[in-house]
Amino acid sequence: MNLEVQRFKADFFKALAHPLRIRILELLAEGDKNVNELQTLIGSEGSAVSQQLAILRNKSIVHGTKEGNKVTYTLRDPMILELLKVAKQIFNNHLIDTISMFDRIKDEE
């Protein structure tokens, strides 16, 4: 595989590698929101939300549109939603495997 594509993927996943950024993406999946709306929904300081949005914006994961003195954010690519769904399914599969392993250990005791 092309090294540039591998670097893009690594940088892309690094940009997703923070719980607050994932939460922001989940909220934007429900519809466009400005920083104040995101801050209220998350219950976090505006500076923290703005900082995470800047990282997502720099990696072209979200897009901001200025409306007066507010910036409204949207997902740049709806496939992000699919990626988050797949990640959740992988987590669920891992959880099921872990529970099954604990059940086998319990049965052996």
User: How far is Cα 55 from Cα 69, in angstroms, rounded to an integer?
Assistant: 21
Query: What mean pLDDT, rounded, does the chain reach?
Result: 90
pLDDT at 73 over 90: yes
Please report, for the chain, the start and end positions of each structural domain, with discontinuous segments joined by +. 1-77, 78-109
1-77: which CATH topology? Arc Repressor Mutant, subunit A (1.10.10)
pLDDT at 103 over 80: no
- Bridge partners (DSSP) of residue 3 are none
**Cβ atoms of residues 24 and 42 within 8 Å:** yes
User: How far is Cα 60 from Cα 77, in angstroms, rounded to an integer?
Assistant: 9
- What are the two backbone dihedrals, phi and then psi, of residue 68, each rounded to the nearest 5 degrees? 70, -120
Residue type, 53: L
Q: Note the pTM of the prediction, 2 decimals.
A: 0.81
Please return the burial class of 105, using the count of CB atoms within 10 Å of its CB with bins 0-12, 13-18 and 19+.
exposed
Number of helical (H) and strand (E) elements in the chain, helices listed first: 5, 3
pLDDT at 63 over 80: yes
Tens of pLDDT along 25-51? 999 999 999 999 999 999 987 689 999
Please return the burial class of 52, using the count of CB atoms within 10 Å of its CB with bins 0-12, 13-18 and 19+.
buried
